[in-house]
Amino acid sequence: MIIDGKVISQSLKDAMKIEVDALAEQYGRRPCLMVIIVGDNPASRSYVRGKIKATEYCGFDGHLVELPEDVSEATLLAEIDKLNNDPLVDGILVQLPLPKHISEDKVIAAISAEKDVDGFHPENVARLWLNQHCILPCTPKGIIELLDQAGVEMAGKKAVVIGRSNIVGKPVAKLLLDRNATVTIAHSRTKDLAAVCREADILVAAVGRAKMVTAEYVKPGAAVIDVGINRTEDGKLVGDVDYEAVLPVAGAITPVPGGVGPMTITMLMRNTIECFLNRMNNK
Ligand code: NDP
């Protein structure tokens, strides 16, 4: 079974569009997402375009704040502070990576935790690990949604996550644990990675190495979630999984593009609605 992130994403966005119209009626305004981009990095520009397009599609308010590559850290922090204090702004996102002269840690911590639609703020990260109410990071949240939508049972299953980054590997592992999977986190120092992965009923690859997961990594019938985004020499977008080789072995698999990627943006929209509702109901 191919888990089509594009189709799932579209139906979730269609439902949110209707929900947002109803929220506008009920609360007298629409959820508002502000996206900040610094500089002209083409990949960041392309991600931001996708986010703004989805924002418009779902009927949110908000817009893009564009700052030049050489903007000072102080100016960026002041911009964030302004948005933190704006009662009509529900979500703030600063597109990463930032230029070297700006501390990403400082910027992430400067965004008010209640408007942190990316779920990267230390308070949200801590709350996730403490099982407290929090804003979940978008890619891990999208992966769990994909597994749910594909009808993949997580409870009691063995899951292996390759990668231990703060934005993907570790939070995905935590969310799988919360769904009662038994989770192994693998990384660059894991011995005999293929044998570790072959144990998995659910295999999540979040490495950033083209086609590294071959058929010998996959237990027949396993669900394989490919988070990786890599470019081949001829410019083609591929994941961490050798899709053609793994497709006949896997029970379910996400393609790249069209798997986890669209879900990340859709979960950003979901998080914006959740931030809006938290703020409106805490008034
Ligand atoms: P990082 O570079 O932060 O982490 C990569 C992880 O892979 C590290 O934990 C590293 O191990 C591990 N790793 C590297 N080489 C190997 C190896 N040979 N064997 C086993 N493990 C290895 O990346 P991110 O987590 O930020 O992103 C991972 C991928 O997901 C990237 O391709 C990124 O572009 C993509 N991505 C996709 C998103 C989407 O929406 N689809 C969103 C975010 C990311 P160690 O810790 O030991 O160094």
138-259 shares the fold of 27-114: yes
Tell me the domain boundaries of the chain: 27-114, 138-259
Domain 138-259 is classified in which CATH homologous superfamily? NAD(P)-binding Rossmann-like Domain (3.40.50.720)
| Phi/psi of residue 125, nearest 5 degrees | -65, -45
- Please tell me the predicted confidence (pLDDT) of residue 109: 98
Return the CATH number of 27-114, one of 3.40.50.720, 3.40.109.10, 3.40.50.10860, 3.30.390.50. 3.40.50.10860
Residue range 22-78, pLDDT digits in tens? 999 999 999 999 999 999 999 999 999 999 999 999 999 998 999 999 999 999 999
Find the mean pLDDT for residues 80-93: 98
One-letter amino acid identity for 265? I
Query: Using omega within 30 degrees of 0 as the cis cutoff, is the peptide bond preceding 99 cis?
Result: no
- Pocket test of ligand 1: the residue of 225, 227, 232, 269 to mutate, having most ligand atoms within 8 Å of its CB, is 227
pTM: 0.97
Whether residue 114 is predicted with pLDDT greater than 70 in this model: the reply is: yes
Q: What is the mean pLDDT of residues 199-214?
A: 98
Query: Per-residue pLDDT for 282 more than 90?
Result: no
When pLDDT is averaged across residues 200-228 and rounded to a whole number, the result is 98
Nearest to 259 by CA among 142, 117, 154: 142
Q: Please give the mean pLDDT across all residues of the chain.
A: 97
185 touches ligand 1 (CB under 6 Å)? no
Q: Is the CB of 227 under 6 A from ligand 1?
A: yes
Q: Which of 90, 118, 201, 242 is catalytic?
A: 118
4 catalytic, yes or no? no
Q: Which whole number is the average pLDDT over 1-18? A: 97
Between the CA of 16 and the centroid of ligand 1 the distance, in Å, is 30
pLDDT at 188 over 70: yes
Closest CA relative to residue 238, chosen from 261, 222, 270, 221: 261
What is the H or E stretch that residue 67 is in?
strand 64-67
pLDDT at 283: 58
Copy the structure tokens of residue 62: 């908000």
